[in-house]
Chains A and B, each alone.
Chain A
């Protein structure tokens, strides 16, 4: 069965410090991968998605970047964190959208507090 791992679970970082959140998927190949952010009490905002190694699409301009160095690995990064980057970050995977694989499976999330 497929599993998704995301870490670290919680992170407190000072303003201006770098960030690296990592996500890996097991039990499937060539998944679509996603990073979502959820501000406190808010809905989910799609940040990035990837349909293959090295292929990253960004949904919103921001202080963050994403990379997919391996088929089942997705990394969210920042060179210098802002206070506004605080939130709950969720990694997710799916099969190929629109081809009978429409469900997204989420990791447990990473709480980021920028201080």
Chain B
């Protein structure tokens, strides 16, 4: 089944720096999504990028998609302590979304 794998597993940065997380997947997709999970909470949808899109922005988030390399990246600019969370990419497999193992981002002030 399709599955996203995030890289790195963990990332620690200072406030104000940019954070980049990568996701690789195995088979062709219609779209790829990124979700965020605060510790001990449910996941929240951040952004969806369709297979015919190469880049998408939402506030401080920038997502790119390279279908030839089967990869996507999530860039968070000017990070804040409140961005500390785990970030997951997800791809559709039939009726459900399959998630990767996530990147844990720590932003220190």
Taking Cβ atoms with an 8 Å cutoff, the residues of A that contact B are 32, 34, 36, 42-44, 46, 49, 51, 57, 59, 88, 90, 92, 94, 97-98, 102-109, 111
With the chains together, A49 CA to B44 CA distance in Å?
Answer: 19
With the chains together, A109 CA to B44 CA distance in Å?
Answer: 12
A43-B88, A98-B30 are known contacts. Are A106 and B96 too (CB-CB below 8 A)? no
Q: Is the CB of A103 within 8 A of B40?
A: no
Interface majority SS (helix, strand, loop, mixed), chain A: strand
Q: Is the CB of A43 within 8 A of B99?
A: yes
Q: What is the number of contacts between chain A and chain B, taking CB atoms within 8 Å?
A: 58
Please indicate the chain B residues that have their CB under 8 angstroms from the CB of A105 in the complex. Answer: 45
Give the size range of B's interface with the partner.
Answer: 20 to 34
Interface majority SS (helix, strand, loop, mixed), chain B: strand
Q: Which of A42, A90, A111 contacts B43 (CB 8 A)?
A: A90
With the chains together, A107 CA to B95 CA distance in Å?
Answer: 18
Q: Is the CB of A42 within 8 A of B101?
A: yes
Nearest chain B CB to A38 CB, angstrom units: 8
Residue of B nearest to A10 (CB): B40
Q: Is the CB of A102 within 8 A of B31?
A: yes
Residues in B26-53 with C-beta less than 8 Å from chain A = 30-31, 33, 40-45, 48
Please indicate the chain B residues that have their CB under 8 angstroms from the CB of A57 in the complex. Answer: 95
Q: Is the CB of A90 within 8 A of B95?
A: no
Please indicate the chain A residues that have their CB under 8 angstroms from the CB of B99 in the complex. Answer: 36, 43-44
A43-B88, A90-B42 are known contacts. Are A97 and B101 too (CB-CB below 8 A)? no
Please indicate the chain B residues that have their CB under 8 angstroms from the CB of A108 in the complex. Answer: 41-42
Please indicate the chain A residues that have their CB under 8 angstroms from the CB of B30 in the complex. Answer: 98, 102
Residue of A nearest to B4 (CB): A43
Q: Is the CB of B96 within 8 A of A34?
A: yes
Let me know if B92 is at the binding interface, CB within 8 A: yes
Q: Is the CB of B44 within 8 A of A104?
A: no
Q: Is the CB of B40 within 8 A of A43?
A: no
Q: Which of B94, B97, B102 contacts A104 (CB 8 A)?
A: B97
Q: Is the CB of A111 within 8 A of B40?
A: yes
Residue of A nearest to B102 (CB): A43
With the chains together, A92 CA to B43 CA distance in Å?
Answer: 9
